[in-house]
Amino acid sequence: AQTVTQSQPEMSVQEAETVTLSCTYDTSENNYYLFWYKQPPSRQMILVIRQEAYKQQNATENRFSVNFQKAAKSFSLKISDSQLGDTAMYFCAFIDTGANSKLTFGKGITLSVRP
Amino acid sequence: KAGVTQTPRYLIKTRGQQVTLSCSPISGHRSVSWYQQTPGQGLQFLFEYFSETQRNKGNFPGRFSGRQFSNSRSEMNVSTLELGDSALYLCASSSGPQPEQYFGPGTRLTVT
């Protein structure tokens, strides 16, 4: 069974600065995808970024980038130039590439961006 | 394209009643998954439907059930509600070939 661990329950960052959110996972699968989702106070779950396990290149989406370390089973999210609208819960999630469409989520981390 | 929609957005029920929640996926998406979100347990997978067939199921009691229609819309039903069923129920759709799941706004269920 896959597990996803987010050990930091809360983080805070000053507007315009950079913050890194940590995530580790455990799986015996070799082919899978990892995601970061954002859940603002509205509770709408928003896909931030995805990473394919077979790709060595780290994914980037505008101010969001990941540091994917497959051997270490680590998948951190870096948010550059933090904005007030980045305040939200962030969830790390895993899915394998089989017919199983089950997303396994971490417990989430609450990020607060200070003005 | 319109996003995933869920109805109703809020629901208050009494213990012992049953409830049906509805989810309309993004147009063209054939896979619909349901998740329960609570402060204590986090996000937990309920089940997934693809082409009107349940393809995967989480570890929830038989009181939780679902179905999918030919237009890919999905419903989930919870019978004999318990206080512990109070949660945010999230529906997500995906296209199948791509693994990303796109979520609806959720239905907040309160059981009193």
CB spacing of B92 vs A42 below 8 angstroms: no
Which residues of A fall within a CB distance of 8 Å from B50? 101
- In B, minimum Cα distance to A49 occurs at B100
pLDDT in the model for residue B2: 84
* Interface touch B100/A91, C-beta < 8 Å: no
Write the pLDDT tens digit of every residue in B48-73.
999 999 999 999 999 999 999 999 99
Which residue from A44, A47, A91 is facing B43, i.e. has the nearest CB? A91
Residue of chain B nearest A103, judged by CA positions: B45
Reported as a single tens digit per residue, the pLDDT across A39-89 is 999 999 999 999 999 998 999 999 999 999 999 999 999 999 999 999 999
Q: Which among B56, B90, B103 is the nearest to A102, CB-wise?
A: B56
- Render the burial of B14-43: b for 16+ CB within 10 Å, e for the rest: eeeeebebebbbbeebebbbbbbbeeeebb
Q: Are B65 and B76 in contact (CB under 8 A)?
A: yes
Would you say A93 and A107 are in contact if contact means Cβ atoms under 8 Å apart?
no
Task: Out of A47, A102, A106, name the one closest to residue B100 (CB).
Answer: A47
Q: What percent of chain B has pLDDT over 70?
A: 100
Residue-level pLDDT at A100 = 67
Q: Is the CB of B31 less than 8 angstroms away from the CB of A105?
A: no
Contacts with B, A 22-51, CB within 8 Å: 33, 35, 37, 42-47, 50
Locus of tokens 């619909």:
B32
pLDDT tens digit string along A89-106?
999 999 988 756 789 999
Q: Which residue of B has its CA nearest to A50?
A: B100
Nearest to A101 among B88, B94, B106 (CB): B94
> Lowest-pLDDT range, A8-17, A65-74, B20-29, B93-102?
B93-102
User: What is the reported pLDDT for B42?
Assistant: 94
